[in-house]
Structure 1
C-alpha cells in the first residue's frame, strides 16, 4: 500500500477565479502595480483587471518598481473605467479617494473595498526620492494583498 506524503502548504485553489478590478485616477501606477501584484501572488484564483477615471500611459517608475521583484507589467493595457461598465466583478478595489467616491455604484457581486494609497507620481525631487515613493507604494500594496488573500480564499473556496 502506498503512503501519501503530502507536504503542499499552498492555499487551496478556488473553483472559479474571482474577478477583481483595481481602480485609481489614471491607471498608470497604483492600479497597475496592484493588478500585477495580485496576478503574481494570487495566480489562477483571480481574473485581475485595472482601470482609471482617465486612461494614462503606464509610468516607467511603476514598471521598474515591479520589475525589481520579478513582476513585468510593461505593455499591459491601461483601460478607462467605462470599458468595464458592463462587467460584473466579485471585488472592486479603489486605491484613491477620487475613485472611492466615483465608483460606489460600480456593478459587483461581492464587495467594494478601499485601500488608500498615496500617488507616487506626486513626489518630485531627486531620482532616489521618486524611486523610493514607487517602492513604498509597491510594498504597501503587496502587504495589503498578502493580508487579504487568505481571507478571500477562505470565503471563495
Structure 2
C-alpha cells in the first residue's frame, strides 16, 4: 500500500551516483525532468497520467488500476530484457 507516499523532488538525489534512472512521465504531454546526476544507465517508460481520467468514479478508478497494471508489466519487461544480465 503506497497511499501515504508522496512525490519527492529529484534535486535531493543529484549528488548521489546511480546505476539506473528510470523516468516514467507521459512524454507526449510533458517534458520529463532531467536528472543530471552520475548515472550509468538511463531508461524512459512513458505512462498516461490516470489523474487526468474523466468519467464516473468507477471509470476513473479503473484507469488507475489499468495504469498500475501497465507499470507492473512494463517494469517486468525492462527487468527481464535490459537489467537481468
- Identify whether the pair has TM-score above 0.5, normalized to the shorter chain: yes
Q: Distance in 2 between matches of 1:129 and 1:110?
A: 40
Structure showing greater relative contact order (alpha-carbon pairs closer than 8 Å, 6 or more residues apart): 1
* Greater Rg by CA: 1
1:137 CA displacement:
0.7
Q: What is the RMSD computed on CA atoms of the aligned residues?
A: 1.7
CA offsets per residue over residues 59-112 of structure 1, 9 Å max, x none? xxxxxxxxxxxxx1133342111111212221111112221xx31x52243211
**Which residue in the other structure is 2:80 paired with?**
150
Paired residue for 1:79?
Answer: 8
Q: Structure 1 segments of 4 or more deviating over 6 A? A: none
Q: Number of matched residues?
A: 80
Task: List alignment gaps of at least 5 residues for structure 1.
Answer: 1-71
**Length-normalised TM-score, structure 2:** 0.79
TM-score by length of 1: 0.46
